[in-house]
A = this chain, B = another copy of it.
Amino acid sequence: APGQPLYGLIGKMKAVPGQRDALIAAILEGSAAMPGCLSYVVAKDADDADAIWITEVWDSEASHDASLQLPAVQASIAKAKDLVASMETGVVTTPVGGIGLKA
């Protein structure tokens, strides 16, 4: 909705050793179609073979919260649960601009 602040998340997760690719696949599978998601990037940490970063931009916090109920996301969370060793960083942000934000 116009005027409503965007909602962003930046998180770092450590995969169970050897399971990073499987974790990435599970996450990407679940995050393909999420209403209100303007940006969702999954990236490998270049220096830590077990770590991944997920950076997200949503048109509102409500859209993000609603996505957690989507069947595909629930399935992905269930699959990812056993592949995640730890959550390391979790930051909430208010995105204010940039490139690559789906209109």
Interfacial residues, chain A to chain B (CB-CB below 8 A): 6, 8, 10, 24, 28, 31-32, 34, 37-47, 53, 55, 57, 91-102
Most buried by B among A6, A38, A39: A39
Determine how many copies of this chain the complex contains: 2
CB closest residue in chain B, given A101: B100
The DSSP consensus for interface residues of chain A is strand
In the complex, how many angstroms separate the beta carbon of A24 from the nearest chain B beta carbon?
6
A57–chain B nearest beta-carbon distance, Å: 6
In the complex, A42 Cα to B41 Cα: how many Å? 14
- Cross-chain contact A44 with B98 (CB below 8 angstroms): no
Which has the most chain B C-beta neighbours within 10 Å: A32, A37, A46, A102? A46
